[in-house]
Amino acid sequence: MSKTALLFAGQGAQFVGMGQDLANQYPTARSLFDRANGALGYDLASICFGGPEAELLKTENAQPGIFLVSWVALQLLRERVPQFQFQATAGLSLGEFTALTAAGVLEFEDGLRVVRMRGRFMQEACEATRGGMAAIIGLEEGPTREVCTEADVELANLNCPGQLVISGEEAKIARACELAKLRGAKRALPLPVAGAYHSRLMASAQPKLREALAGIPIHLPAVPVISNVTAKSHGVASEIHERLVEQVTSSVRWEESIRSLLAQGFTRFIELGPGTALSGFMKRIDKSVQVLNVGDCPSLELTAATLGQTLES
């Protein structure tokens, strides 16, 4: 029997209009957007649907917005394919919170609130520093780490073969991009982000997040959830708390996380939430596995139909 893992989008996947067609067509989706507005005390749904873009791009809105659309996508898939089951979850950075919620570790409203707080804490860290990030395309991990050491920046994301992301002070990121090109990178592109995520410049967010998490009930995962920090399954509740706090400044070991799932025999991966970045990474990691996604009505219909045929056969 095929083993299925759910993958949840991270920050950067947001776009104005995300989730709107799902809310318009499915009462379950509309209800979840209304529940989210009630839990947060403001109209997140209208920001997701209509922006303005500057408001959606704020970390404190983008993170809960992506969490919410991803959660809606999962619930609609469950509704459309009642016999659907999954055996593991993983999420990129912010998406790890959605992955934990999908596995029953966090309740929906708790996950939404803590992601909103996490976004605010990270936004505050961005405003207190002058940080940036850059994508390094076509350079191996070893040379990229050398560049990071020389430029005094950090390796933030190990996404897939040929795509790494570095993070640090703006001036140092510019220097790192120059060094990466000299070492053979095809491209070194500064990213349009508010700050230096997954670097030491985010350290001020950690004690605030630790305090916020302390007030939230944590349950044991119903299925394995892969940690960005360790690229292994999460453990007991206290360890989950610490890994989520560490994650703010640690590298996202995404390729290693996916390879761990592949080694465990997973052959179907379903990306849930806005965009298809994780599906793109998967194709660079292993083209042989089945990759599906749910982010809007057409992708929901296609994935539901594909799963329905597979599960009936």
Which token pair is 127? 């405003």
Catalytic-residue membership of 198: yes
Residue written as token pair 């994508």: 135
Residue 126 identity: C
Alpha helices in the chain (DSSP H): 20-25, 27-40, 44-50, 53-57, 59-80, 95-102, 108-128, 141-151, 170-182, 205-214, 237-247, 254-263, 277-285, 297-312
Which of these is catalytic: 2, 46, 70, 198?
198
Which of these is catalytic: 70, 93, 167, 251?
93
Count CB-CB contacts under 10 A for residue 127.
Answer: 11
What percent helix, strand, coil does the chain show, rounded to 5?
55, 15, 30
Catalytic-residue membership of 93: yes
Count how many residues are written for the chain. 313
Active site positions, annotated: 93, 198
